[in-house]
Structure 1
Amino acid sequence: MPDFPIRKIAVTIEEILHDGGPPAHIPRRRAAALAVVKNPFADRYVEELESAMEDLKPLGLMLSDRLIAALGGDAKAIDGYGKGAIVGSAGELEHGALWHVPGGYAMRERLGEAKAIVPSAKKLGAFGARLDVPIGHVNAAYVRSHFDAMEVGVPDGPRPDEIVFALVMTSGPRIHDRMGGLKASDIKAWDGLR
């Protein structure tokens, strides 16, 4: 990734034992992997950006691999995901959109061709900005038990000419989910695409 040199990588893991109710039989785990990279498009308008997504594909795969390892190494145990980007102040929101393909498809590939769209958020942010990355079930958009968000960020970024790219993966539903809807055990082939 010569155009997007990495300054820093951070991996955060959470284990949620309860959320005010009874302790869960199996704790929910959430993890985020973030990369702080140089933004080659900072301080200038560039008409053609789409080809740069190809340059970011190795980063998406690397962060996906780190998340799977952080969550125990079993890709089959991961059932939620999301992605996001925080663009430094010298960039534009469209630079965060570069993460759609390399971030989303990397997770889908590593998790065995997950079917559901990968929820996404992006924003422009100053030094220390935080982002709530939306989370959904990997195989069906309507599994309410997996609707969630994880706040991510790094204390020393993004600098004005940087982008923080983030991936999030989870194992298990919200600890005390009880809002009904499609159950993960009832997903059919195309539920992820409705």
Structure 2
Amino acid sequence: MKIRKRLIILEEILHEGGPVAAQPRKRGAILTVIENPFAGRYVEDIAGFMDDLTPLGVAMAGDLLAALGGDKSAIDGYGKGAIVGAAGELEHGALWHVPGGYAMREILGDAKAIVPSTKKVGGPGTRLDVPVTHVNASYVRSHFDAMEVGVPDGPKADEIVLALVMTTGPRVHARVGGLAADKIKGEDGLR
């Protein structure tokens, strides 16, 4: 695997027009730009590349957790995504589903919810809204969110941008009801 660059993006959200939160919400993303080994050609059997991506996913998840302070119990939201350069295909971004998702679940320890994901094909500067849900229960509305990410000079046509996102706390002014984080049963990753 050939890595061209990595970016870490951190946000601290104090308010969204309402009162200042007692505890700011943090969102973080790590992006890695890699060479797409399938760019410019159709390859039938691509699934093996997921195994190649697994160590990268674990390293990215660990680095993102460290950037957010290192306390895995503070992370309660996550998501993942990929931007495939124009010489690739959407399916190349789908290769990130397993390595990216399982890496965050491994690093965080006891996360039960599926890691939401998105992907697209685009050129340098393409932005991606990475969906975020609660790490243990997908139905916790206060954690429905997205973080916009991108690389100014990537992906080039023969590259893929791989992204992981983690958050602390709900949206800073969450108040639309639904399942509250302190009411999660943790049985199935949904509720």
Whether the TM-score (by the shorter chain) exceeds 0.5 is yes
Percent of residue pairs identical: 70
Runs of 4 or more above 6 Å deviation:
none
Q: Which residue of 2 aligns with 1:115?
A: 112
For the pair 1:139 / 2:150, whether they are aligned, the reply is no
Q: Which residue of 2 aligns with 1:78?
A: 75
For the pair 1:24 / 2:21, whether they are aligned, the reply is yes
User: Structure 2 length normalisation: TM-score?
Assistant: 0.98
Pick aligned residue for 2:65 from 63, 68, 75: 68
Q: Which residue of 2 aligns with 1:178?
A: 175
Separation (CA, whole Å) in 1 of partners of 2:172 and 2:26: 10
Q: Is the 8 A contact 1:86 1:158 kept in 2?
A: yes
Q: Is the 8 A contact 2:139 2:190 kept in 1?
A: no
Q: Which residue of 2 aligns with 1:157?
A: 154
Separation (CA, whole Å) in 1 of partners of 2:160 and 2:98: 16
Separation (CA, whole Å) in 2 of partners of 1:51 and 1:191: 29
Which deviates the most, 77-86 or 63-72? 63-72
SS at 1:179 equivalent: coil
Q: Could you give the per-residue CA deviations for residues 57-79 of structure 1, whole angstroms, max 9, x where no partner exists?
A: 01101110111111111011000
CA positional deviation for 1:189: 2.4
The letter for the 1-side match of 2:65 is I
Q: Could you give the per-residue CA deviations for residues 106-133 of structure 1, whole angstroms, max 9, x where no partner exists?
A: 0000001310010000000011101000
For the pair 1:102 / 2:96, whether they are aligned, the reply is no
The letter for the 2-side match of 1:97 is A
Question: Which ranges in structure 2 are unaligned for 5 or more consecutive residues?
Answer: none
CA positional deviation for 1:193: 3.7
